[in-house]
Amino acid sequence: MEFCPVCGILLQIDPGTGSHRLRLFCPVCPYVCPILNKIVKKARLVKKEVEPISSTADEMKSAPKTAVTCQRCNHGEAYFKQMQIRSADEPMTTIYRCCKEECQHEWRED
């Protein structure tokens, strides 16, 4: 993306016809810039760090328990809490954490 140095508007590309070469032009002011070289700009994508579903393990230890089967170890009990993650007209999201000390698998049910 290139911007007009005069007014700051995003430049548009003119494909050029006949003897005219490819060029960038401003749709607001009379600025025109011929394209002489191939325009290549690379930007490295920085991925966000994935945050855990719950903030601390101790927080889930004080949460209520329910009879639900863990998807990883098939233990029959898990801590749970409910949060409103999406918009208000959508149902609450239930977050589970396996009660088994060796597992501690977290999953959610929308």
The answer on whether 33 is annotated among ligand-binding residues is no
Q: Is 60 helix (H, G, I), strand (E, B) or coil?
A: helix
- 99 is known to lie in a ligand binding site: no
Burial of 60 (0-12, 13-18, 19+ CB in 10 A): buried
Sheet containing 32-34, strands listed edge to edge, beginning at the edge strand earlier in sequence: 12-14, 23-25, 32-34
Q: Is 26 annotated as a binding residue?
A: yes
**Was 29 annotated as part of a binding site?**
yes
Q: Is 98 annotated as belonging to a binding site?
A: yes
Annotated binding site: 4, 7, 26, 29, 70, 73, 98, 103
Binding residues for Zn(2+): 4, 7, 26, 29, 70, 73, 98, 103
